Structure 1
């Protein structure tokens, strides 16, 4: 429920509560009061609450400007409540004259005392509603700011991670390229072409968090081509992506990170190929690979996958799901 609708809810609730309490009180103190008297008094009371609410709303804005809560908290609350009591006493006078003229029930000293006390309580209740609404809004704003700061921190970590991936990847590719230049110049030329397209993609989108899936797929095809040149038939990737899914978004280099993770943690051997399947279903992208764990795994802090999961949690309400069985490791990514 929004802050605006909350204010209207509080306004209607307090008005109805006051009308009901006043009706019961009149009935107890003056059982002979006719129905028309109850109705007239209720109408007057509703008008009184609405006028008071409007003035208190203006008073709240004025005090926020000249005596904000952040300046002197307790003084501000005391001034707001004190002014509120004075205001409601002033605006009640014409309503009192109208009620006295109509005379729905006798105005004794006890009746007047109860009315005055009720006005004080009503004034405090309305002003406390405004005060509490102010602090609730500040609290929500604080939560939003904390979330934005956490998101910005995660973005910086993710961009730092992307910058770390590039030198590691470059080292491996240059090592492979060195041997290709000597053994197969034509294949080395194709290798360099794929590599240039990969870095063009990184340079074009390095400031982006989310890219179109079709754009990411164009990049990952070049990345997979490099890996297939490197591992030959030991590395196999299968794509089954619908046209509708290609129009969706994905966090940049997600696929590269997941494929690199699969290569890092699994044996890639011609007799036991690493098979990776990338497909979509029901607005999710699935990346899964067969498990054939390495005996010696390269050191991994697993921060990349963790930060990727956290970043998706800020971008969508659908979580990233990691599922592991004896033979398959699967990552289920929500398409954005």
Structure 2
């Protein structure tokens, strides 16, 4: 309601100023409201009709010819349509207010005498519509900038939330409890292996803490973390698990959301039976087409918590998918037959 009242006041004021200026430039005196009240009322009415028409016409243009698609054409169309509307209304003003006050014989002389005034009117209308179009475009640009900023902040918040979920799964007490149990068992036997285990555990937690607020890390950093994590798992599974890495140095400099590979490796360990009769082989390879994480499916786990584990598995994959959507339009591809394969897009630019 306020914007409507403000628009009416501005349109009315401009109409009065333009009418008074044209009248003064042609007669040498300002029009008084007492003598020309009909002209004032009519020009205010027509100006507001024109302003409303231009406003709603621009709303149509926003749908069929938006500013962000073809700015120059939109600007030209808005300028021409606005000028046509107000010239038409100027003709209406002439027909209803000026024409009745002059005789047919005087009409030709009128256009000769007041042609300069008509030209001035066209110029003034063109300038006003041009200014309006500039303001309209500026408001559009500001609104678009605000929308982009809000979307960016929302995406960053969601990205941090998803990353926190991934981090939380690694910082849970169960994971740390198992690690401490392994250290305790190793410390009574192979001291060297216990030292290596502690070192790998420290590397894992250091990576988790360092990447807490990072959106992306290099594939090389992620692979180093996965190797450390996998080393700790080998303490439990020994030769029943195997990790094969095949990534060129060039591809290793591309980017990946933190803990992506670690989640996939952990899922492979969690959802398959691993023993001397069921050897689990995990392969991580990458080329220009993408990153492939592949594991054979020796035997799926069957127990009373299978439904819960499947839900956990789906949540982990969904977390990875959502985080990738912030950086690429390429979809993550998942195939599951004799092997379970996840194909991740390459993210070449950290921005």
CA contact 2:328–2:347 (8 Å) conserved in 1: no
Q: Does the 8 Å contact 2:160/2:213 carry over to 1?
A: no
Aligned to 1:256: 262
What is the TM-score when the length of structure 2 is the normalising length?
0.60
* Rounded Cα–Cα distance in structure 2 between residues aligned with 1:108 and 1:270: 107
Deviation per CA, 1:188-210, whole angstroms, max 9, x where unpaired?
Answer: 33222221222232333333222
TM-score normalised to the size of structure 1? Answer: 0.62
Aligned to 1:158: 162
**Root-mean-square deviation over aligned CA pairs:** 3.6
Matches within 5 A, 1:94-109: 109=111
- Distance between the aligned counterparts of 2:219 and 2:291, measured in 1? 10
Bigger mean CA offset, 286-295 vs 111-120:
111-120
Which residue number in structure 2 is paired with residue 215 of structure 1? 221
**Which stretch shifts more, 220-229 or 166-175?**
166-175
Distance 1:331 1:175 in 2: 34
**Cα distance in 1 for residues equivalent to 2:272 and 2:20:** 80
1:144 maps to 2:151: no
2:302 matched residue in structure 1: 295
- Residue 215 (structure 1) shift: 2.0
Q: Contact conserved, 1:213 with 1:249, CA < 8 A, in 2?
A: yes
Find the partner of 2:136 among 132, 136, 160. 132
Residue number in structure 2 paired with 1:322: 333
Displacement of 1:238 in angstroms is 0.9
Q: Partners of 1:73 and 1:322 in 2: how far apart?
A: 50
| Cα distance change of structure 1 residues 303 and 114 upon mapping to structure 2, 3 Å threshold | farther
User: Which of 252-261 and 172-181 deviates more?
Assistant: 172-181
Whether 1:181 aligns to 2:187 is yes
Q: Report the Cα distance in structure 1 between the residues aligned to 2:145 and 2:322, rounded to whole angstroms.
A: 21
Rounded Cα–Cα distance in structure 2 between residues aligned with 1:89 and 1:123: 17
Gaps of 5+ in 1: 1-70, 95-105
Match of 2:317 in 1: 305
1:266 is paired with a residue whose SS is coil
For the pair shown, which has the larger CA radius of gyration, 1 or 2? 2
